[in-house]
Amino acid sequence: MLKDQNVVLGVSGGIAAYKACALTSKLTQQGANVKVIMTKNATEFVSPLTFQALSRNPVYTDTFDEKDPAKIAHIDLADWASIFIIAPTTANMIGKLANGIGDDMLSTTLLATEAPVYIATAMNVHMYNHPAVQENMIKLDKWGYKFIEPGSGYLACGYVGKGRLEEPETIIDVISNDSNISPLLKGKKVLISAGPTIESIDPVRFFTNHSSGKMGFALASEASRLGADVTLVAGPVHLSTPNGVNRIDITTAEEMYQEMMVHFQQADIVIKAAAVADYRPATVYDQKMKKDEGNLSIEMERTKDIIKELGERKQNQFLVGFAAESSNAITYGQKKLTEKNLDAIVINDITTDGAGFGGDTNVVTYLNSKGDKSSLPLSSKTEIAKQLLQFIRSDFEDELK
Catalytic residues: 157
Helix (H) or strand (E) holding 383: helix 381-400
State residue 127 phi and psi, 5-degree precision. Answer: -65, -45
Look up residue 303 and give its amino acid.
T
Contacts 24+ apart (CB under 8 A), 59-63: 59/35, 60/35, 60/36, 60/105, 60/109, 61/37, 61/105, 62/105, 63/104, 63/105, 63/108
DSSP one-letter string for 30-64: TT-EEEEEE-TTGGGTS-HHHHHHHHTS-EE--TT
Query: CA of 393: how far to CAs of 110, 269, 270, in Å?
Result: 33, 9, 11
The CA distance from 161 to 252, in Å, is 47
- Between CA 278 and CA 287 the distance in angstroms is 24
- The answer to whether the beta carbons of residues 379 and 361 sit under 8 Å apart is yes
C-alpha to C-alpha distance for 221 and 264, rounded to whole angstroms:
19
Residue 15 phi, psi dihedral angles, 5° rounding = -60, -25
* Whether 189 contacts 266, CB under 8 Å: yes
Task: Report residue 34: phi and psi, to 5°.
Answer: -115, 130
Cis geometry, peptide bond prior to residue 168 (ω within 30 degrees of 0): no
CA distances 207 to 231, 267, 323, Å, are 26, 30, 20
Kind plus residue range of the DSSP H or E element containing 251: none
C-alpha closest to that of 194 among 243, 259, 138, 265 = 259
Cα 132-221-237 angle, rounded to 5 deg: 75
For residue 272, give the nearest of 362, 360, 197 by alpha carbon.
Answer: 197
Those residues with Cβ within 8 angstroms of residue 272's Cβ, 6 or more apart along the chain or in another chain? 192, 193, 260, 306, 307, 310, 319, 320, 321, 322
Query: 128 Cβ partners below 8 Å, 6+ apart?
Result: 91, 121, 150, 162, 163
